[in-house]
A and B are shown apart, each in its own frame.
Chain A
Amino acid sequence: MDQIGFLEPRPAVLSRRREIVADLLDLLPEGCLVHEPRELVPFETDAFVSYRRLPLAVALPETTAQVAAVLKYCHRYGVPVVPRGAGTSLSGGAIPQEDAVVVGLSKMARILEVDFANRTATVQAGVTNLAISDAVSADGYFYAPDPSSQLACTIGGNIGMNSGGAHCLKYGVTTNNLLGVKLVLIDGTIVELGGKALDAGGLDLLGVVCGGEGQLGIVTEATVRLIARPEGARPVLFGFDTSEAAGACVADVIGSGIIPVAIEFMDKPAIEICEAFAKAGYPMDVEALLIVEVEGSEAEMEAMLAGIIEIARRHGVKVVKESQSATEAALIWKGRKSAFGATGRIADYICMDGTVPLGQLPFVLRGTAEIVEKYGLRVANVFHAGDGNMHPLILFNANDPEDAARAEAAGNDILRLCVDAGGCLTGEHGVGIEKRDLMRHQYADVDLAQQMAVRAAFDPQWLLNPSKVFPLEGRPAA
């Protein structure tokens, strides 16, 4: 695919490549700079694999001071910088460009402190999302945001994209669970924002750094909130004859005042794909499936489930299946969380991430089906229904350029539909390069200009992750 453009590489940087590499080798310990073209290939893209660019070099610093030294150098010589966690971005947030130095945080992967009395964990940015929960689970705690890629994705990347996950309905997304960061600004200045206190003084800079897509600075350490694990948790499967009925049921559950921990939606193609992969015991004779998870004491789960089942009956639920054991519960979630991977086994796909108001779910599901049909493609829907965060997976054949172009066009139409329905382009994956050129559909020029002005307050020369988020035309002169 080549419909999304990148900034033209800066000739002044490309022509100095050899010198820049030599300087960075001086700044970093041995083994912390990748610069041989062959070795740069693993860094040429992320999980948005349709686009790839070889970077100039990849720095893999081991300390915050080394990150600061690299940024200070790049700032001085006008070299673009692309921050990278685990490279699991679905929107191309970590895709480099020819004149950029990638700063990868993979060597900064230590858990620095766990403080149960204050319920915080302080970790380096390269620690994986799941590693935090793993480190504290024996003591009865967990870290709440749980993107499907949690085994691989890093907390630094989660902060960059303000990542969500299935359980955000109750516990919120990254920004609601982040207390503080150590941030390196583009000129090499190291600042600390927030800490173990629940809120920080001054302007809420942390609030805008989270979700800043690596354009405001590079986070090297983070302090996150830990949550006491509930007494029990139980996912329940609800099968429906139509997607619309399932969507309407979701809106009614939330409207009734019951807030489960998670409500996940799968349509028939998604059910088939996931069941074939995970053998999760999903019902196969329904058109749409909801996974509703409740948690708490036995009494509380029973009471909530009774309320949810009553609402589901009003929407003609066909199958209600409670998990009978921890193994079954784990399988139900394994099926859901492997949806993207399992889909990847049967076809190429692009994953959309629009969010819509709950009342619009049935309308947008119908519209999505019509759009995909118009382009002659197939779609599997699997998403976080409780907060209206949709993930249509548009299936196509990457070896057929026309098919790929159609998929991209269909995806763009779906996102426009989400915005027109009162929603937004991206609920948790970020804008990256993928949705950059649609930003004007959601925001007026004056809205984007204000965001770009804030961005420039952090990085006046637009060196950090420069090809991302904001349309390339109409940017302020650096």
Chain B
Amino acid sequence: MTPVHEPLSEEAAARLVQVAALSRTPLAIRGGGTRSLAGVPEGAETLSTRGLAGIVAYNPAEMTMTARAGTPLEVVEAALAEKRQMLAFEPCDLRGALGSSGIPTIGGVFAANASGPRRFVAGAARDSLLGVRFVNGRGEVVKAGGRVMKNVTGLDLAKLLAGSHGALALMTEVTFRLLPVPETAATIVVSGLNDAEAAAAMATAVSMSVEVSGAAHLPESVRGRFAGGALPDGAATVLRLEGLAASVAVRSEKLTAAMARFGAVTRLDAETTGRLWREIRDVAPYADGTPRPLWRVSVAPTAGHQLVAALRLEAGVDAFYDWQGGLVWLRMEADPEAALLRRYVKAVGGGHATLLRARPEVLAATDTFEPQPDAVAALSARVKASFDPAGLFVSRIVG
């Protein structure tokens, strides 16, 4: 076991980083540890945010919250639920799929830019992050952004820190925007479409002025794993509508009429809708207790099914689609096939693939994050050095 540091204050965290800088001890930053499957590299010590917890300020009328990075996500969500507010980006909980334990933290959510089904209309975690306090690799406490929705004062460092997977700094406090919980929700299910037909149906649905807030395609191989088997036979293309009850009713009818030409249409109530989209968000069908390689692939919406079709000719894969087809959850039967997958991602127009799960030795030997083109990699390395000149913070996202 490598040492684990749990500073109880921002100042203590800063001192700890200063000491580590003097001794050149690499630090692996950890929130709840729910995504740390690859483990901590040899010689590195763990810097945990567990001791930096608690909601600092919650102002429902301004729809913003400030919380320390180690605050458990469930604490944040419980406070929001009391005021019928929510995180717009629906952060996913991948513990089931990754077979990990630990408590997801709000800092970890932003560090991973973890964003669920509503991302394609409401933005990612990075779009909700208004401000951040952090300790950089020099052990300095720095603030960026603020607590207002519109702010272009100086460089938007909060965006850089979102999704930086601990490569740049230890986030100690985050301020983020909120949205009201919609009054109700419903799901329109189109049954029996193949992946290409589903892509066309989803493109049609999101082009309509009915404000679809979730668009996923669940092929027959995974359909039965959702909503307790409540989805009709055949592949399910699912479209979520949210808002005021009267409005959802009207939009449901409109969408149902438009989708009828693609296949048989059924409708799910608010409760089943809630369960279904949580399961899509958390990648429920691949919470299968196996170490079979699990990829999260982001491509253009209409490219998702092309990618999977191409891969099927050369590897054993199972897949389902979120974000109108642009987010592909891929489970490989045996080898992760990283090179093959990334070649096809490029061939269908580009994007990126992240390996989230595999046997430890496979994870260690694979580029879990998408390797960047040379010029971008060099630029990213310079940006990392601007936060962390000694390369103290170990993370696989920047070389």
Residues of A near any B CB (own CB < 8 A): 115-120, 140-141, 161-162, 164, 168-169, 172-173, 175-176, 185, 189-193, 195-208, 210-212, 228-231, 251-252, 254-255, 257-259, 296-297, 299-300, 303-304, 355-359, 384, 387-389, 422-431, 435, 439, 442-444, 446-451, 453-458, 469-470
Contact = CB atoms under 8 A, between A and B. Distances in A.
B397 interface: yes
Given A427-B152, A431-B152, 19 more contacts: A115-B300, A141-B207, A175-B127, A195-B300, A201-B372, A203-B380, A204-B164, A211-B155, A211-B156, A252-B61, A254-B63, A304-B244, A355-B149, A358-B61, A388-B149, A422-B147, A443-B143, A451-B144, A453-B386
From B375, B385, B386, name the one whose CB has the most chain A CB atoms within 10 angstroms. Answer: B386
B146 to A, nearest CB: 5
Contacts of A469: 154
List the 10 closest A-B pairs by CB distance, nearest first: A207-B159, A201-B352, A257-B180, A255-B61, A201-B370, A196-B300, A427-B150, A300-B247, A453-B386, A197-B351
Interface string B372-396: 1101110110111111000000000
Contact of B373 (A140, A173, A191): A191
A40 B280 CA distance: 58
A297 B247 contact: yes
B47 to A, nearest CB: 19
Interface of B: 59-64, 84-85, 113, 115, 119-120, 123-124, 126-127, 136, 140-144, 146-157, 159-160, 162-164, 167-168, 179-181, 199, 203, 206-211, 243-244, 246-247, 250-251, 298-303, 323, 326-327, 349-354, 369-370, 372-373, 375-377, 379-380, 382-387, 397-398
From B61, B64, B152, B209, name the one whose CB has the most chain A CB atoms within 10 angstroms. Answer: B152
Contacts of B181: 257
Nearest to A458: B379
6 contacts: A118-B301, A172-B127, A196-B349, A198-B120, A228-B207, A297-B250
B301 A117 contact: yes
Nearest to A196: B300
Contacts of A355: 148-151
Contacts of B350: 195-197
A196 B209 CA distance: 21
A195 B387 CA distance: 26
Contact of B159 (A204, A453, A458): A204
A158 to B, nearest CB: 11
Given A191-B375, A202-B397, A454 B155 contact: yes
Nearest to B200: A117
A415 to B, nearest CB: 10
Given A172-B127, A447-B142, A458-B379, A208 B157 contact: yes
B160 A207 contact: yes
Given A212-B155, A257-B84, A204 B352 contact: no
B113 A199 contact: yes
Given A228-B207, A451-B154, A299 B246 contact: yes
B152 A162 contact: yes
Given A207-B162, A259-B180, A303-B244, A425 B144 contact: no
Contact of A200 (B136, B326, B352): B352
B60 A300 contact: no
From B144, B167, B377, name the one whose CB has the most chain A CB atoms within 10 angstroms. Answer: B144
Contacts of B160: 203-205, 207-208, 454
A426 B376 contact: no
B180 A439 contact: no
A204 B157 CA distance: 10
A175 B156 contact: yes
A304 B85 CA distance: 17
A357 B62 contact: yes
Contact of A205 (B199, B327, B353, B383): B383
Contacts of A297: 247, 250-251
A443 B210 CA distance: 43
B386 A358 contact: no
Contact of B62 (A176, A359, A442): A359
A451 B144 CA distance: 9
Given A191-B375, A197-B326, A254-B63, A204 B126 contact: yes
